[in-house]
Amino acid sequence: MQPRPFVSRTADSIPPSGIREFFDLVATQDDVISLGVGEPDFPTPWKICDAVVDALRRGVTSYTSNYGLLELREAIAEDIYKRYGVEYDPGREILITAGVSEGMDVGMRAILDPGDEVIVAEPCYVSYKPCVVFAGGVPVVVATSADNDFRLQAAQIQEALTPQTKALLIGYPNNPTGAVMSRPELAQLAEIAEQHDLLVISDEIYGHLTYEGQHTCFSSLPDMKPRTLLLNGFSKAYAMTGWRIGYACGPAPIIEAMMHIHSYTALCSSVLAQVGAIEALRNCEAEMTEMIAQYDHRRRLFVNGLNEIGLPCFEPRGAFYTFPSIQGTGLSSGKFSQALLLEEKVATVPGDAFGECGEGYIRCTYASSIDQLKEALSRMAQFLDKLDSGKLPVSYA
């Protein structure tokens, strides 16, 4: 007798990540310019690496508290207060996680009971809805659009509310669109959260990568700290993606519940990554500022280039992504990205990987050198010329 599959219905219901699925195809190609992976092209600042090497020499290789090193939690609390004026108790209101992704996972499992609904604004990062489902919740999708630069509207939340709504999940600056919401716009969401007794899970991993004006930390809004789970980390602003170090800040009961789950599954984040994060907060502001300035320069160059070659693109105000429209080409997002990769060796991510409302768009990161961005634009222009002249294989249609 053949054994049954043993895979749970929940796990089987989740499709593979649209990002990873596409990059399985990228791995089969040579001479590819990748505009797909959301990863800084800068190395981790040497100060951080040196601090970790020194910690290794001193034998700092043990477990830490399930909450994470107190010194790191204190540094995070100090940094958030300095930037946004929000006070968090390092002992009870901060948890160190293995990146924001783990924070999202344990956060959802800590707050959701079966059937609880979470409003999710799309396009969004690919893990948002799966994390809700894995926790037994029900994601309720609200689609943003290019008509308002992919900013979530308060009226959309009102329409999506039901008696089962427990939380609102947002991520600004946004991946994949680069959209940013102003403080008054976020205040409208906060008012709804207050009126309907909702928790707001705010993924602010790209908060430092805000190019015009100041980033608004959601928990800094009036009366929002008690009903905000703030997620952030070091991957993007400090070029520490592979270090897998993030944190969650929120009401003590939620953070304690998250810590219980974290203690059984991850136990603690890497002590060396935590040492590196302390150094990042204490001594790497200048390096971070320089990286952000470089991203800003690339952002303007690449957005202008996309519009010039005929791919309409609104100006992203944060993160390091563009989300140009390919609707005028007659190809789906998937077909466009596949054809662009195979014909011109430029890798992008189909917009529908981030939700159905992303169809008709592609995500391109500008976390690449100026030379590579210019070459990518040249190849994309060649591709569009081939498309216009009917020189592409009919298999792409």
pLDDT digits (tens, 9 = 90+) for 286-343: 999 999 999 999 999 999 999 999 999 999 999 999 999 999 999 999 999 999 999 9
| Domains of the chain, earliest start first | 9-44+286-383 (3.90.1150.10), 60-284 (3.40.640.10)
Average pLDDT, the chain: 95
Question: Cα separations (Å) of 8 from 11, 18, 115, 209?
Answer: 5, 21, 18, 39
Measured between alpha carbons, how far apart are the two ends of the chain, in Å? Answer: 45
pLDDT at 294 (0 to 100): 97
**pLDDT band at residue 24 under the 50/70/90 scheme:** confident
In whole angstroms, how far apart are CA 102 and each of 80, 266, 276, 351?
Answer: 20, 9, 18, 24
Has residue 2 got a pLDDT over 90?
Answer: no
Tens of pLDDT, residue by residue over 137-153, are 999 999 999 999 999 99
Give the pLDDT confidence of 181-237 residue by residue, as tens digits: 999 999 999 999 999 999 999 999 999 999 998 999 999 999 999 999 999 999 999
Percent of the chain residues past pLDDT 70, beyond the cut: 97
The dihedrals phi and psi of 221, each to the nearest 5 degrees, come to: -70, 150
Over 80: is that where the pLDDT of 117 sits? yes
